[in-house]
Structure 1
């Protein structure tokens, strides 16, 4: 009998964003057990393959398209609600037994009890991936952060299984809410090298020897800490920052605090959408700086571990659980000292770090490995 898995909470397929969308795409792309049928909710504005109310096939997955009302911040909650109700109706029409509803994120958590009852009535199960402590993100105003924290609590208490992408997330949830039914399945990454011989972005900014930062332009990624320490360092290398800073109020706030515009080594180059070029930039970097403080297994850190020889990483629990001893850790007070030590690493020391990082990726973070773990979870007796 087929096991039907309804995936709720991503924007849908084909993937046009990172994070959950990439995960869902890789999950269906690497499917090996044909006794699993994936059904994926898709927002209508992110899908050019079907209109609202329609279904379409994508890499073997059944994708159903939802038009979500434009009601401001509550829109993401409405999307999850609509998706669950449509999926429940589909289960009834198709006489689907014992489905799994895999909900990505905690957004709907404040209302989850009602939907869990409906899903349990058809002998279904509710699995939840809580993502990376969304309520801590400073981009949200305090009322939204308060709701997200409440939603997290309800999701943990009401769901049948929590799937954490990092043992640090599971440790946090256990400490916060007591014993929980939980599995750890990491995020994955591609093992791909660039085939380029130059980067148009690096050529444009006249950069050849550089440290690198890649990530969303938000305070919890610690741009202030990274930039201040770099400015205090004596390195003659540049700092290339790939981020969505244009039109962001945080950019002006950061400029006032650090006066980075007076340091000619610092290059904000905007976003780089070409993944082949981004890999080349990672591969050519002297070192990658990772200041992400909120989250689980961060995709950018995995990509850096595969592509960049030396990675200098904020030593919070989530990052340590991901990278082990394959990177150089710093805390907010000692980054300048760490950067000084990175400058004098030998080629052998750099090679050893890269070898360790690639070994960890091969053992734990390939999409094939991640997707096999999910299939074993969804159909434990058939793998």
Structure 2
């Protein structure tokens, strides 16, 4: 079976969640005998036409020149090319800048779309942008033969909103078993003597609430903020918390080994995401044996259940920072249970098998 994956900046992953998903899926599907094409931006750091048995097609992407509008042009170029590839199935990861071109997707190829999270709920967007995102979401549904939800919450939403069934396939992770304590030396850290978060610095990721709690607790140990901070909101946060030297904005880190080692050796790992389905960084924290303090919402609770501590406001964050003793039995049980969930439910090998089974089930089923 020939599968094309569109909707990402490409592989190997240098960017984020869907790129990592594309990487693991492509490698896993090739290993299972599929022929796989992944679409890459023309300025992706890896410029070869093949990577570990995966065919790569580089398409012109002007995002670096014209900003967000460039994403739409890149997705158009990918769709125009995939029309020529004679695929059995196109897997579309997300819909934000591609669904407006959905009418151009080849009519004789099955299109299955991972619908991502509820993008229009993000607080950073204006009402006009949110209106467009709702429209783009509806087009993503309209121009897909089949839908994939990476959380039960998204699956329920699609059924309620569009009366459409979707296949539930969670995001994946790989159990992290080789933490490197030497990495801490680069950041002048000691094991279990710092707290951290990893996220895009956006309001809906509860960054400000978490840092308000850190400031209120006023502990001397470092608090790492990992994520690109040369943004309007990032600059606002850096200015607001400039007097709190324990809060360290260390920028984006895209090496998964470094990230997982930092997560593993943190005392508390904060996960403030409030929008979306199965968040990749949450699963990676579970796989890294991180003690997780998560925003108290249904998406996070569905995954973590009772194996995390939760916050709703800055006072909760302060309370946990002052109260938690990392090596208490109750917290160690949480770590063990979360690692077990990765092995039983979220391991990438299981997720790739679920995608492979989905493709086998929908091959030839055109519903548009």
Task: Sort the Cα spacing of 1:47 and 1:88 in 2 relative to 1 into closer, same or farther, 3 A.
Answer: farther
Aligned equivalent of 2:340, options 359, 362, 372: 359
Secondary structure at the residue paired with 2:40? strand
User: What corresponds to 1:49 in structure 2?
Assistant: 47
Contact 2:17 2:280 in 1 (8 A): yes
Match of 1:323? 304
Q: 1:221 to 1:42 in 2, by over 3 A?
A: same
Deviations 1:209-257 (A, max 9, x none): 1221111111111111111122223655432222222x3222342355x
RMSD over aligned Cα atoms: 2.6
Partner residue of 1:184 out of 156, 159, 168: 168
**Structure 1: which 5+ runs fail to align?**
51-55
Q: What are the ranges of 5 or more consecutive residues in structure 2 without an aligned counterpart?
A: 364-368
Q: Which of residues 60, 69, 77 in structure 2 aligns to 1:67? A: 60
Describe the shift of the 1:269–1:381 C-alpha distance in structure 2 as closer, same or farther (beyond 3 A). closer
User: 2:100 is matched with which residue: 103, 110, 114?
Assistant: 110
**Cα displacement string for residues 239-289 of structure 1 (whole angstroms, at most 9, x for unaligned residues):** 2222222x3222342355xx4222333222333344333322212111111
Instruction: Measure, in 2, the Cα distance between the counterparts of 1:104 and 1:10.
Output: 7
Partner SS, residue 2 of structure 2: strand
Deviations 1:93-135 (A, max 9, x none): xxx6xx21111111222342x235xx33x2x211111212222
SS at match of 2:84: helix
Cα deviation digits, residues 282-310 of structure 1 (max 9, x gap): 12111111111122211111111122442
Deviation at 1:338, TM superposition (A): 4.8
In the TM superposition, 1:1-383 aligns within 5 A as 3-31=1-29, 32-34=31-33, 36-46=34-44, 48-50=46-48, 56-69=49-62, 71-91=66-86, 99-106=88-95, 107-112=97-102, 114-116=103-105, 119-120=106-107, 122=108, 124-175=109-160, 177-192=161-176, 193-203=178-188, 209-233=193-217, 235-245=219-229, 247-255=230-238, 259-332=240-313, 335-336=316-317, 338-339=319-320, 342-344=323-325, 347-380=328-361
Larger Rg: 1
> TM-score normalised to the size of structure 2?
0.88
Between 231-240 and 368-377, the greater mean CA deviation after superposition: 231-240
Tell me the matched-pair count: 358
Q: CA deviation at 1:164?
A: 1.2
Is the contact between residue 10 and residue 104 of structure 1 (CA under 8 Å) also seen in structure 2? yes
Deviations 1:11-39 (A, max 9, x none): 122222221111111112223431x2212
- Closer/same/farther in 2, CA of residues 265 and 207 from structure 1, 3 Å limit: farther
Q: Deviations over 1:317-348 (max 9, x none)?
A: 22122222221122237524751674257621
